[in-house]
Chains A and B, each alone.
Chain A
Amino acid sequence: MSFLTEIGLNHFLVVSALMFTLGMMIVVMRRNAVAVLMGIELLLNSAALNFVAFSRYVSHDLNGHLAAIFIIVVAAAEATIILAIILNIFSHNHSVNVDEADLLSQ
């Protein structure tokens, strides 16, 4: 039972692996472009969580925190660009289905 009560590095790695898997399944399964973006946010979050867990349990410095901060910065920029692209696709296709968005230009 010590595995259940003693929270260690492996617990966070498993949580992160579950989040990564769910994010990947969302990207594969959902057809709404905004839902796919949500899946990508889950993927980025699971990676950042891994960085912080390693920083806490293995290296005891702040490098993992800095990596997570830069992941958040990139996620913010990425969400802006993706939403702009989705708005363009919507005004062109009148739909945000990623299967129908198969043209790079009109």
Chain B
Amino acid sequence: MSFYEGLLFYLLAATAVLPGVMILFSRDIVHAAFWLLASLAGVAGLYLYLGADFLGFTQVMIYIGGIMILIIFGLMVTHKQKISLSQLAQKRLLVPAVITGGIILTALLYVINKTTWKPTASEEMEPTSADIGYLLMSDYLLPFEIASIVLLVGLVGGVYIARRKEREA
């Protein structure tokens, strides 16, 4: 493991984690959306670092290309010129947030340190797309079909819920 690989990891990790702080404290919700974009890109980079090429590009296409567009669209529709103060991150919620975050982080770090993971010697990284395709059509056929039904239900349900008001009016 060379020095530059370590440096690359820390750069990617910072890209994935630090935007979370910016989302937490940014006053403009649109800025928060673009920070989320940076965080998702950092996670995509970490996937590539782990040798998951298919997942890295899936992350870019689905999250950055799809879900982020949805979120920004939702922001634009619900954005009001005069943002009421109650919609910003509230100072009174900082203490509960820090307590929740502290408990979760302490528990997670305790478990990570306490457990003796058994990492085995790493193999060569290979392209994963073909094997993922074989797995989706063999071992994971049922979850694959269920996932397509989930997406169909999500699509129909989303259209129905978003249009319901108009129909009743």
Contact = CB atoms under 8 A, between A and B. Distances in A.
Interface of A: 4-15, 17-26, 28-35, 37-39, 41-42, 45, 48-49, 52-53, 55-58, 60, 62-63, 65-66, 68-70, 72-81, 83-88, 90-92, 95-97, 99-100
B119 A76 contact: no
Nearest to B4: A5
Given A28-B97, A31-B88, A88 B67 contact: no
Contacts of A55: 50, 52
Interface of B: 1, 3, 5-6, 9, 13, 16-17, 20-21, 23-24, 29, 32-33, 36, 39-40, 43, 46-47, 50-52, 54-55, 58-59, 62-63, 66-67, 70-71, 73-75, 77-78, 84, 86-90, 93-94, 96-98, 100-101, 104-105, 108-109, 112, 117-120, 122-123, 128, 131-132, 135-136, 140, 143, 147, 150-151, 153-155, 157-159, 161-162, 164-165
Contact of B123 (A6, A60, A91, A100): A60
Contacts of B136: 66
A18 B55 CA distance: 21
Contacts of A97: 84, 86-87
